[in-house]
């Protein structure tokens, strides 16, 4: 699918538009410039991905590649804030790209009506990736693909009132989730909309650090939005992890 550059780009002064970010010592003009030059792939544009996309577009990311083959259904409206009742039945990537482009015409947005599998993930060529999917199998595919091609990525997940953010590096996703058959579909445990927003907010900060060449938090962040409890779980490399030994199941 082609990018939506058909939208006329309004004249925008980045120094004005992003002044409240640039003034942050954590961002600065140089970090903003790096963000505006960055291309990010978002895998899954539902409860996590659509929120992540909105934040990145508002912050002025350079380009976004959106991957999902789902249609919008009524139950999405509870938490997927850029979709409305008129969008039910339409493709998520198409509606999201349209709404994002209205927010910031300066971002290059490319919707891909694609279900990410071990075959289709080879289409993803962005230098940064956000895992916003809802199942472990796709996460394991993302983990292997990013490990093999050395692509920095952020894992985000929610279940009930708990959100998780993890930046794989020395420790990969498979190191932690080796007992994958014990993990089910997180959508079955219910979803509190605020959990998605808080989880994505933390994930986007870690993504910015990767883009700006700063060291991300390497513990696994667990956020309980009901109790307001935030934990940093220490993670360590699993010596039995095949992915870390470059023995891939999917590639």
Nearest one of 138, 202, 217 to 173, comparing CA atoms: 138
- Single out the residue of 172, 186, 198, 210 in contact with Zn ion (rule: CB under 5 A): 172
> C-beta of 164: minimal distance to Zn ion in Å?
17
What Rg, from alpha-carbon coordinates, does the chain have?
Answer: 18
Place of tokens 């983990």: 143
Q: Binding of Zn ion at residue 167 (CB under 5 A)?
A: no
Our CB check for Zn ion shows the closer of 205 and 244 to be 244
- Which of positions 204-243 make contact with Zn ion (CB under 5 A)? 241, 243
Asked if residues 172 and 143 have their Cβ atoms less than 8 Å apart, the reply is yes
Work out whether 199 is an interface residue with Zn ion (CB under 5 A).
Answer: no
* Annotation marks residue 186 as catalytic: yes
Half-sphere exposure of 43 (CA within 13 A, CB side): 33
Helix/strand/coil for 45: coil
- Per annotation, catalytic residue among 146, 172, 175, 186: 186
Site for Zn ion in 66-105 (CB under 5 A): none
**According to the binding rule CB under 5 A, does residue 244 interact with Zn ion?**
yes
How far apart CA 173 and CA 17 sit, in angstroms, is 36
**Region of 55-63, 86-94, 172-180, 193-201 interacting with Zn ion (CB under 5 A):** 172-180
- Return the range that interacts with Zn ion (CB under 5 A); candidates 8-16, 94-102, 106-114, 169-177: 169-177
Burial class (CB in 10 A: 0-12, 13-18, 19+), 188: exposed
Q: Rounded to the nearest whole angstrom, what is the least distance from the CB of residue 244 to Zn ion in the complex?
A: 3
3-state helix, strand, coil split of the chain in percent (to 5) is 40, 20, 40
Active-site annotation, residues: 186
Q: Which residues contact Zn ion by CB under 5 A?
A: 172, 174-175, 241, 243-244
């Amino acid at each position: 699918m082609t990018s939506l550059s058909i939208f006329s780009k309004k004249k925008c002064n980045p120094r004005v538009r992003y002044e409240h970010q640039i003034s942050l010592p954590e961002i600065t003009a140089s970090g903003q410039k790096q963000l505006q030059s960055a291309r990010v792939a978002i895998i899954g544009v539902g409860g996590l991905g659509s929120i992540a996309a909105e934040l990145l577009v508002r912050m002025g990311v350079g380009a976004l590649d959106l991957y999902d083959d789902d249609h919008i259904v009524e139950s999405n409206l509870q938490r997927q804030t850029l979709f409305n009742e008129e969008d039910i039945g339409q493709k998520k990537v198409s509606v999201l790209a349209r709404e994002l482009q209205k927010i910031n015409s300066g971002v290059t947005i490319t919707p891909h009506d694609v279900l990410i599998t071990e075959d289709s993930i080879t289409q993803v060529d962005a230098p940064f990736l956000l895992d916003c999917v809802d199942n472990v199998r796709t996460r394991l595919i993302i983990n292997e693909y990013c490990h093999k091609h050395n692509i920095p990525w952020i894992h985000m997940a929610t279940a009930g009132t708990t959100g998780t953010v993890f930046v794989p590096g020395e420790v990969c996703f498979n190191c932690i989730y080796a007992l994958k058959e014990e993990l089910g579909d997180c959508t079955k445990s219910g979803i509190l909309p605020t959990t998605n927003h808080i989880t994505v907010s933390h994930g986007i900060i870690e993504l910015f650090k990767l883009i700006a060449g700063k060291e991300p938090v390497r513990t696994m962040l667990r956020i309980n939005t009901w109790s307001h409890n935030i934990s940093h779980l220490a993670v360590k490399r699993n010596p039995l992890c095949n992915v870390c030994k470059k023995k891939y199941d999917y590639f």
